[in-house]
Chains A and B, each alone.
Chain A
Amino acid sequence: MTIDTARGAGAPVPDAEGHFGIYGGRFAPEALMAALDELDREFTAAKSDPAFTAELDDLLKNYAGRPSLLTEAKRFAEHAGGARVLLKREDLNHTGSHKINNVLGQALLARRMGKTRLIAETGAGQHGVATATAAALLGLECTVFMGELDTERQALNVARMRMLGAEVVPVLTGSRTLKDACNEAFRDWVATVGHTHYCVGSTMGPHPFPAMVRDLQRIIGVEARAQVLELTGKLPDAVVACVGGGSNSMGAFHAFVPDEGVRLYGFEAAGDGVETGRHAATISGGSVGVIHGMRTYLLQDEDGQTIESHSISAGLDYPGIGPEHSWLHDTGRATYAPITDAEAMEAFALLCRTEGIIPAIESAHALAGALKVGKELGPGAVIVVCLSGRGDKDMHTAAEYFGLMPGGTAE
């Protein structure tokens, strides 16, 4: 079954109100409480409804292309201290990232609840594209909120969403990035909740979103665990992923949480460096508070005002993090560390040149982290890296960064 949460009796399950330890919960307007309760009930019912899970499984297999491959990156691994690097190829999914796993589940759920419209926030545009795709497939209306800054740096994805029939609303407030897109999506939802489902794109937001999105993404780790066992005959030494809101990482980690010998590493976007203040490394450089309906680590000043995040990666440019990650950090089960823009772009180029795979800049943070983990764990260590998305959308940013634009100087 796709949404199998049975494995791992010791796995962290939130309490009935969605608390992971002190994190998570539901800090949301009363107007949304009925919808959040309904969503919680419907998802719980759907998980054990064979018709629902069969339809989702079918879409994941025959539409999204699952299971995704586990590709050994031998030439890339030469730079990783002699470790074996296995790439979980979420970039090969339909629409080009892990986002489709979550969206197909939520879109089916929306239809089950009788909702006719999907809304979504998006940073890099990957979640927006996935939502627009599922809406087209199921005949639902779709509106995507995207910070104006992100519509500029991810213009290709804006065009993709519009081609798919979605309305893309540029958000002009605040930092004009992902956090502001979230605010605007919540503002829309509170006025339209009767017929609209807010398809939250990460393991964030008020309960039940963090647990629900995790359950829909945990297939990444479930598949990877079986694949690595088949390939190597044992569990990996480490699982590595990038963390923004935290859905690809939570999806990759979750099946391994009960496997105590498997180290879990989440790499946050450190932008210009955590010490510069221009970063999006929530756990490394933030503190505990409430944002977007959840208690979690966030970037905030002494008055509790959100500090704007910075990252070359639009998908990681978010000042909060999913509450389950905050919990895994506090319990010590997972380790979180920062990766700068420069480190990520170096790893980005390295994967291109050594493996012929162009990763998303988000995923490049995980690759840069894998290079460090490999050196730390030493020769023979097996590292699974969640390659959460492909880099086509990032060509403009990368071409500028490396001076590859016409008239520019090649590296």
Chain B
Amino acid sequence: MSVKPAYDKAAAEGRAALVGYLPAGFPSREGAIEAAKAMVDAGCDVIEIGLPYSDPMMDGPTIQDAVHQALVGGARVADVFTTVEAVAATGVPTLVMTYWNPVDRYGVDAFARDLASAGGSGLITPDLTPEEAGPWIEASDAHDLDRVFLVALSSTDERIDKITRASRGFVYAASLMGVTGARSAVDTGAPRLVERTRQIIAKNGGDLPVGLGLGVGNGAQAAEVARFADGVIVGSAFIRRLLDAPDPAGGLAGVRELTADLAAGVRGRA
């Protein structure tokens, strides 16, 4: 199931979609599933499950910590599929966000096949651009999966054209030049990037939604982003709640509270 209908539903309600990220295996195998379900209950429209990887080159300290904990706790690629299966069963479309090597190692077609059979919607690939994505484009076509590539503030129009043509489900606009992690303010270049991306999609006759991520951590920022993007993507702030909680119940309560704040934000009520 593509994530596109979830974006369309949010748009029909006159708001942005809320996309929440958590790595599989964090804070534990079961804990990640419970936290993701809490995010669904409290108002996330799309869930991204991160595949914990030893060398998260694009992640800041918060996600590095979470992923490290997951790996020390014994998280395996198979856990990603079971987590996706449990979360997708709620009816909310569930993507996997992963660095490329674990997929390459698993076998691109086998990964696509197992993700599809777990009910997953597709992949977000932070270190794979369309140039190197030949096998993934083939596999995602064969298994009817979304392909979420990223555009950045530094992307030329030519690259945005190539990336949006290759994307399916939505395109991920990185709101700032930097790694993941909550920031105090949304980069001033972000609205312009979303606008450029939308114009290029429209010129090509497409209707791909544009989600904006990196740095968003609270309802007020979500409201600001919701004014110009189709989706608001939040990751590190959820992890922060789980890391800072005194116990698992407190972590889930924190995740619910943050989701509610963000969900109000994407509805312009923060």
Measured CA separation A32–B269 after assembly (Å) = 36
Chain A interface size band reads: 35 or more
0/1 interface trace, chain A 182-194, chain B, CB 8 Å (1 if under): 0100110011111
Cross-chain contact B155 with A34 (CB below 8 angstroms)? yes
Taking CB atoms, residues of chain A closer than 8 Å to B104 are: 289-290, 304
Measured CA separation A31–B156 after assembly (Å) = 10
Is B268 interfacial (CB-CB < 8 Å)? Answer: no
Cross-chain contact B177 with A191 (CB below 8 angstroms)? yes
A30 in contact with B177 given A304-B101, A305-B71, A306-B54 (CB within 8 Å): no
Is B9 interfacial (CB-CB < 8 Å)? Answer: no
Is A216 interfacial (CB-CB < 8 Å)? Answer: no
Taking CB atoms, residues of chain A closer than 8 Å to B152 are: 29-31, 33-34
Cross-chain contact B100 with A27 (CB below 8 angstroms)? yes
Is B77 interfacial (CB-CB < 8 Å)? Answer: yes
Of the residues B54, B59, B64, B131, contact of A305 by C-beta under 8 Å: B54
A318 to chain B, nearest CB (A): 12
0/1 interface trace, chain A 260-304, chain B, CB 8 Å (1 if under): 000000000000000000000000000001111100000010111
A193 in contact with B55 given A30-B159, A31-B174 (CB within 8 Å): no
Of the residues A27, A173, A193, A303, contact of B154 by C-beta under 8 Å: A193
Q: Which residues of B in the span 63-118 have a Cβ within 8 Å of any Cβ on A? A: 64, 68, 71, 76-77, 100-106
Of the residues A186, A192, A304, contact of B105 by C-beta under 8 Å: A304
* Closest chain A residue to B173, Cβ basis: A30
Of the residues A34, A174, A191, A289, contact of B101 by C-beta under 8 Å: A289
A30 in contact with B174 given A303-B105, A304-B102 (CB within 8 Å): yes
Taking CB atoms, residues of chain B closer than 8 Å to A304 are: 53, 77, 101-106
* Closest chain B residue to A187, Cβ basis: B179
Is A17 interfacial (CB-CB < 8 Å)? Answer: yes
Measured CA separation A191–B102 after assembly (Å) = 25
Of the residues A29, A34, A306, contact of B58 by C-beta under 8 Å: A29
Is A26 interfacial (CB-CB < 8 Å)? Answer: yes
Is A35 interfacial (CB-CB < 8 Å)? Answer: yes
Of the residues A190, A194, A305, contact of B179 by C-beta under 8 Å: A190
B119 to chain A, nearest CB (A): 21
Measured CA separation A236–B5 after assembly (Å) = 67
Of the residues B58, B100, B105, B131, contact of A300 by C-beta under 8 Å: B105
* Closest chain B residue to A298, Cβ basis: B101
B142 to chain A, nearest CB (A): 21
A174 to chain B, nearest CB (A): 7
A186 in contact with B101 given A30-B163, A31-B174, A31-B177 (CB within 8 Å): no
Cross-chain contact B155 with A33 (CB below 8 angstroms)? yes
Cross-chain contact A34 with B154 (CB below 8 angstroms)? yes
Measured CA separation A303–B51 after assembly (Å) = 10
Measured CA separation A25–B132 after assembly (Å) = 7
Q: Which residues of B in the span 4-33 have a Cβ within 8 Å of any Cβ on A? A: none
A306 in contact with B55 given A30-B152, A30-B155, A173-B64 (CB within 8 Å): yes
A161 to chain B, nearest CB (A): 23
Measured CA separation A261–B155 after assembly (Å) = 47
* Closest chain A residue to B180, Cβ basis: A187
Is B201 interfacial (CB-CB < 8 Å)? Answer: no
Is B178 interfacial (CB-CB < 8 Å)? Answer: yes
Measured CA separation A191–B101 after assembly (Å) = 23
- How many chain B residues have a CB neighbour from A under 8 Å? 41
A303 to chain B, nearest CB (A): 5
A290 in contact with B129 given A30-B149, A34-B155 (CB within 8 Å): no
Is A365 interfacial (CB-CB < 8 Å)? Answer: no
Cross-chain contact B174 with A187 (CB below 8 angstroms)? no
Q: Which residues of A in the span 27-78 have a Cβ within 8 Å of any Cβ on B? A: 27-35
* Closest chain B residue to A303, Cβ basis: B77
0/1 interface trace, chain B 225-247, chain A, CB 8 Å (1 if under): 00000000000000000000000
Measured CA separation A33–B163 after assembly (Å) = 12
Taking CB atoms, residues of chain B closer than 8 Å to A190 are: 58, 177-179
0/1 interface trace, chain B 145-189, chain A, CB 8 Å (1 if under): 000011111111001000100000000001011110000000000
A326 to chain B, nearest CB (A): 14
Measured CA separation A300–B100 after assembly (Å) = 13
Measured CA separation A28–B149 after assembly (Å) = 12
Is B250 interfacial (CB-CB < 8 Å)? Answer: no
Measured CA separation A174–B55 after assembly (Å) = 8
Taking CB atoms, residues of chain B closer than 8 Å to A214 are: none
Cross-chain contact B131 with A191 (CB below 8 angstroms)? no
A106 to chain B, nearest CB (A): 20
B144 to chain A, nearest CB (A): 24
Of the residues B53, B54, B179, contact of A191 by C-beta under 8 Å: B179
A288 to chain B, nearest CB (A): 9
Taking CB atoms, residues of chain B closer than 8 Å to A25 are: 131-132
Name the residue among B53, B129, B151 with the largest chain A CB count within 10 angstroms. B129
Taking CB atoms, residues of chain A closer than 8 Å to B53 are: 304-305
Of the residues B77, B128, B151, contact of A27 by C-beta under 8 Å: B128
Of the residues A28, A174, A191, A194, contact of B127 by C-beta under 8 Å: A28
Is A390 interfacial (CB-CB < 8 Å)? Answer: no
A139 to chain B, nearest CB (A): 25
Taking CB atoms, residues of chain A closer than 8 Å to B54 are: 174, 305-306
Cross-chain contact B127 with A33 (CB below 8 angstroms)? no
Is B206 interfacial (CB-CB < 8 Å)? Answer: no
A30 in contact with B151 given A194-B177, A304-B101, A305-B102 (CB within 8 Å): yes
A321 to chain B, nearest CB (A): 15
Q: Which residues of A in the span 168-186 have a Cβ within 8 Å of any Cβ on B? A: 173-174, 179-180, 183, 186
* Closest chain B residue to A191, Cβ basis: B178
| Additional A-B contact list (16), CB under 8 Å, known A187-B59, A191-B178 | A26-B132, A31-B154, A31-B174, A180-B55, A183-B57, A186-B58, A187-B60, A187-B179, A191-B177, A291-B55, A292-B57, A302-B105, A303-B105, A304-B101, A305-B53, A306-B101
Closest 3 CB pairs of A and B: A304-B105, A191-B178, A31-B152
